[in-house]
Amino acid sequence: MNQPIGELAPPTRLMLTPGPSSMDPRVYRAMATPLVGHLDPWFRGLMDEVQILLRQVFRTENRITFPISASGSGGIEASVMNPLEEGDQALICVNGMFSDRMAVIAERSPAKVTKIEAPYGKAVDPDDVRRAGKGKKIKIVGLAHGETSSGVMHNLDGFRKVADELGALLVVDAVATLAGVPLNIERQRIDICFSGTQKAISAPPGMSPITVNARVEEVLRTRKTKVQSWYFDLTTAMNYWGKERLYHHTPPISLIYALREAMRIVLEEGLEARWERHRQNQLALIAGIEAMGLELLVKNPADRLPTVTAVMIPGGIEDTKFRNQLLDEFNIEIAGGIGALKGKIWRIGLMGYSSQKAHVLLLLAAAEKILLEQGYRVPAGAGVAAAIRAYTQAETATAVSR
């Protein structure tokens, strides 16, 4: 009972999971700066800065753009609960656990929810959404830009087109894509978009940046009933994040410091350069994985999510034994599959600070050693060599295009 508890000393892991990702030391330093009150005039100024940075990362001028004090799931809840009320209909595209969560949450609203499904590992077809919505009055079409549970990315343009035809709002989960994959709220005309801080932004978990456009503001103004959730009601939350700065709840001040620094890092690198870095590192990882004789879950390269790669676990290798050795011997964490994919895939995240050439090469070398020791034959050095070739090709292509 009275056992003394020692000082906190977490191990230093390399997090190559689908979130959280590892963080830049600058973000840790920002988090360790002094706490101020959430209504302190200095903090009010900082809130403006955070919103300015967030608008740049989302590429939008939307007035309502701020970090919700909740993890990505809170972003889902805010995004579906705010537009939906009695009599509304929602079409939610489901191709994995997180897009299914959007449907599950929407089902708690008074709206009628229809799932448009695709098998895990595949993208939903916008034509299926069109067919399901034909002749109906649809309020929202929702989908995950990047489905982290299976490593699939959707091309948003087809869904925007269908949502336009149906007169619906487009709701996009960008938890696994914002700051890692091309995304432009204004140009792609996304009505509601939310993300998570612990992925390609590389800040700690616990906040969900959200942005909604003027069309959504109008929907909120003309609601007949109150938003069912008090905490996630965007109109009241905006009394705090908007000009009034009225108390709504006490936000996670130190996390907001961290988010501010993480977004400064994102914008110093430049979004285009960051998207390209994520793309190149995934291509090198895939080259290495395939050279080792392993297969990917997502067969169509156009459907692959650059931030999360789903690898089929080879026959004879036990999921947790492999991942435990990777953690114990190399301090590297990757994730297993979830739901129907448990024990069948590994999910490797290359997000934000974690998406680095050195990490890709280290992971491939470590994987080769462990696979060999656990009885899977891998051609010696093939994974690392293929990844290096992929980097060299990319560097040559860049030099030629200059």
In the set 175, 216, 265, 296, which binds ligand PLP (CB under 6 A)?
175
- Widest distance between CA atoms in the chain: 67
Here the tokens at position 15 are 């997090």
Residue 45 gets which letter from DSSP?
H
Q: Does 207 bind ligand PLP (CB under 6 A)?
A: no
Quote the CA–CA distance of 305 and 287 in Å, as a whole number. 15
Q: Give me 311's structure tokens.
A: 């690898």
- Say how far apart CA 346 and CA 118 lie, in whole Å: 20
Tell me if 72 contacts ligand PLP by CB under 6 A.
yes
Q: Under the criterion CB under 6 A, does residue 252 sit at the interface with ligand PLP?
A: no
Are the beta carbons of 120 and 80 closer than 8 angstroms?
Answer: no
State the nearest-atom distance from the C-beta of 371 to ligand PLP, in Å.
26
Interaction between residue 205 and ligand PLP (CB under 6 A):
yes
- Whether the Cβ atoms of residue 181 and residue 153 lie closer than 8 Å to each other: yes
Supply the minimum distance, in Å, between the C-beta of residue 67 and ligand PLP. Answer: 12
- Across the strands, what pairs with 211? 65, 193
Q: Which is nearer to ligand PLP, 99 or 188 (CB)?
A: 99
SS3 200: coil
CB of 247 to ligand PLP, least distance (A): 25
Cβ distance to ligand PLP smaller for residue 66 or 98: 98
HSE-up of 151 (CA within 13 Å, CB side)?
Answer: 30
Instruction: State the minimum distance, in angstroms, from the CB of residue 218 to ligand PLP.
Output: 26
* 98 is a contact residue toward ligand PLP (CB under 6 A): yes
Q: How many residues bind ligand PLP (CB under 6 A)?
A: 15
Residues 14 to 33 in contact with ligand PLP, rule: CB under 6 A: 18-19
- The smaller minimum CB distance to ligand PLP, of residues 84 and 152, is found at 152
Task: With beta carbons less than 8 A apart as the criterion, state whether 72 and 351 touch.
Answer: no
What are φ and ψ of residue 311, in 5° steps?
Answer: -110, 130
Indicate whether 172 belongs to the interface with ligand PLP (CB under 6 A). Answer: no
71 binds ligand PLP (CB under 6 A): yes
> Residue 50 carries which side chain, given as an amino acid letter?
V
Which residues fall within 8 angstroms of residue 324, CB to CB, at 6 or more apart?
A: none
Q: Which is nearer to ligand PLP, 146 or 288 (CB)?
A: 146
Q: Does residue 180 sit in helix, strand or coil?
A: coil
Q: Among positive and negative, which fits the CA dihedral 227, 232, 234, 236?
A: positive
| Binding region for ligand PLP (CB under 6 A) out of 67-75, 213-221, 234-242, 281-289 | 67-75
Q: Rank residues 111 and 175 by Cβ distance to ligand PLP and give the closer one.
A: 175
Report the nearest approach of ligand PLP to the CB of residue 401 (Å).
33
Tokens of 17: 């999971």
d(CA 112, CA 256): 36
Among 56, 73, 356, 393, binds ligand PLP (CB under 6 A): 73
- In the complex, the smallest distance separating the C-beta of residue 175 from ligand PLP, rounded to whole angstroms, is 4
- Which region, judged by CB under 6 A, interacts with ligand PLP, from 59-67, 173-181, 264-272, 374-382? 173-181
Residue 333's φ and ψ, nearest 5 degrees, are -105, 125
Rounded Cα distance between 60 and 65, Å, is 9
How many other CB atoms sit within 10 Å of the CB of residue 67? 29
Stretch that binds ligand PLP, among 50-58, 104-112, 169-177, 387-395 (CB under 6 A): 169-177
Closest distance between ligand PLP and the C-beta of residue 126, in Å? 19
Residue closer to ligand PLP (CB basis): 76 or 271: 76
* Out of 83, 126, 196, 288, the residue judged to bind ligand PLP by CB under 6 A: 196
Return residues touching ligand PLP (CB under 6 A): 18-19, 71-73, 76, 98, 144, 146, 148, 173, 175-176, 196, 205
